[in-house]
């Protein structure tokens, strides 16, 4: 699993200019619910029902990744400032990569702008591990911006762990909004 992550990071860099095909990691599959059902039908049936229930209530989550726009701010027209993550994960979803490509394009067009990537975790983890996890998430976003031509010296990374939630709720939807990396203009 760890190896998958390393390979994936390497893959990301290599495939920089190439059109991104679906990444063959386990977690990527988990984001696309139908595929998961095919492979692990029985085991995930109950899980899927729960997910569907949450989706009905909120309509803002896919798996346990937030897909709504409640908390999202915009760096420029059509350039969302944040990406969201699955529990304990730092892998970028298809939607996250799309958001980051828009950010990268905006940063390339505005070469004087520098940014801080703020990585966050939800409240369902130990404080110290969450600090590290926030850092890992922000770096996943940073790596992706760099593969799309943003120079590393324009990007600073900071982790807040579970210290700065946007939603103070104690429920899966609130947690999904809090598992995020936010790109903030630094100048």
Partner 1 sequence: MIKKFIILIFIFVPIKALALIEVDITRGNLNPLPLAVSPLSIDETSRKNFEQILDKENIGSEISLIVENNLRTSGLFNPLDKKAFLQAPDIANLKPRFEDWNLIKAQALITGKVNYIKDKLRVEFRLWDVLAGKEMMALAFTTVPTNWRRVGHIISDKVYERLTGEKGYFDTRIIYVAEEGPKTQRIKKLAIMDQDGANNKFLTLGNELVLTPRFNPASQMVTYLSYFKNMPRVYLLDIETGTQEVVGDFPGMTFAPRFSPDGKKIIMSFAKDGKSDIYTMNLETRLVERITNHPSIDTSPSYSPDGKYITFNSDRSGYQQIYVMKNDGSDVKRISFGNGLYGTPVWSPRGDLIAFTKLHKGKFYIGVMRTDGTGERLLTENYYQEAPSWSPNGRVLIFYRETKTNSKGEGFSAKLWSIDLTGYNERLIKTETDASDPSWSSLLSN
DSSP H helical ranges for 32-187: 33-39, 41-58, 94-109, 127-147, 172-178
* 28 near partner 1, judged by CB under 8 A: no
Distance CA 13, CA 123 (A): 31
Let me know: does 175 contact 87? Beta carbons within 8 Å: yes
Q: How far apart are CB 10 and partner 1 at their closest, in Å?
A: 11
Of 133, 145, 150, 182, the one binding partner 1 by CB under 8 A? 133
Count the helix, strand and coil residues of the chain and give each as a percent rounded to the nearest 5.
Answer: 50, 15, 35
Q: How far apart are CB 157 and partner 1 at their closest, in Å?
A: 8
* 185 near partner 1, judged by CB under 8 A: no
Counting residues that bind partner 1 (by CB under 8 A) gives 36
Distance CA 22, CA 179 (A): 23
Q: How far apart are CB 78 and partner 1 at their closest, in Å?
A: 27
Let me know: does 31 contact 162? Beta carbons within 8 Å: no
Let me know: does 162 contact 120? Beta carbons within 8 Å: yes
* 76 near partner 1, judged by CB under 8 A: no
Contact segment (CB under 8 A) with partner 1 among 34-42, 72-80, 92-100, 123-131 equals 123-131
* 88 near partner 1, judged by CB under 8 A: yes
Q: Which residues pair with 79 in a beta bridge?
A: 76
Distance CA 142, CA 28 (A): 19
Contact segment (CB under 8 A) with partner 1 among 15-23, 73-81, 107-115, 166-174 equals 166-174
Smaller CB separation from partner 1, 79 or 180 = 180
Of 41, 151, 169, 185, the one binding partner 1 by CB under 8 A? 169
Binding site for partner 1 (CB under 8 A): 1-2, 5-6, 9, 88, 90, 123-129, 131-133, 135-136, 139-140, 143, 157-160, 163-171, 174
């Amino acid at each position: 699993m760890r190896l998958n992550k390393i390979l994936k990071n390497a893959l990301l860099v290599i495939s920089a200019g190439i059109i991104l095909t679906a990444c063959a990691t386990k977690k990527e599959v988990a984001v696309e619910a139908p595929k998961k059902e095919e492979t692990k039908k029985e085991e995930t049936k109950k899980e899927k029902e729960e997910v569907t229930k949450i989706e009905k209530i909120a309509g803002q989550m896919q798996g346990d990744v937030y897909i709504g726009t409640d908390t999202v701010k915009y760096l420029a027209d059509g350039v969302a400032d944040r990406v969201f993550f699955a529990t304990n994960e730092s892998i970028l979803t298809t939607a996250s990569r799309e958001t980051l490509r828009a950010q990268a394009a905006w940063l390339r067009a505005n070469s004087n702008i520098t940014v801080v990537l703020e990585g966050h975790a939800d409240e369902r983890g130990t404080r110290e591990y969450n600090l590290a996890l926030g850092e890992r998430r922000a770096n996943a976003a940073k790596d992706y911006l760099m593969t799309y031509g943003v120079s590393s010296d324009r990007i600073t990374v900071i982790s807040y762990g579970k210290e700065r939630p946007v939603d103070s709720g104690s429920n899966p939807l609130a947690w999904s909004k809090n598992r995020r990396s936010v790109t903030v203009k630094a100048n």
